Amino acid sequence: MRQMTESKWARRAQDIAGGAEEGRRLARALNDSGVVIVLGDAVFLRPDMIAKAIENMIPATAHATRAASVVVEVRKKRGEEEEEEEELRAMEEEKAGIDAAAV
């Protein structure tokens, strides 16, 4: 088990989480789960459990990223389909004009 000051732990949590508010939430979640133990200004760390806890948080983020990329692909495909439909309408109008001129 390792030990560090609470201020150093707060900075590390902010660095890991990417911001002050996110760092506070991460530090609180790890404390609530028992991965770290805060006693006064001392924070006792269990590195193996910290790594595992953070790993468990990552799949949710990866899933959200995959879901967002699927949404982007669907929107892109819809845009391509709309362009194709517009092109088809233009071709049908042109054909109708040709047919009308041929009569």
Range of the domain at 97: 2-102
Question: Is the separation of the CB atoms in 13 and 27 below 8 Å?
Answer: yes
pLDDT top residue among 67 and 9: 9
How many domains, the chain?
A: 1
Q: What whole-number distance in Å separates Cα of residue 44 and Cα of residue 37?
A: 5
Cut 0.85: pTM above it = no
pLDDT digits (tens, 9 = 90+) for 31-46: 888 888 888 888 888 7
The whole-number pLDDT of residue 46 equals 75
Lowest mean pLDDT among 20-24, 60-64, 70-74: 60-64
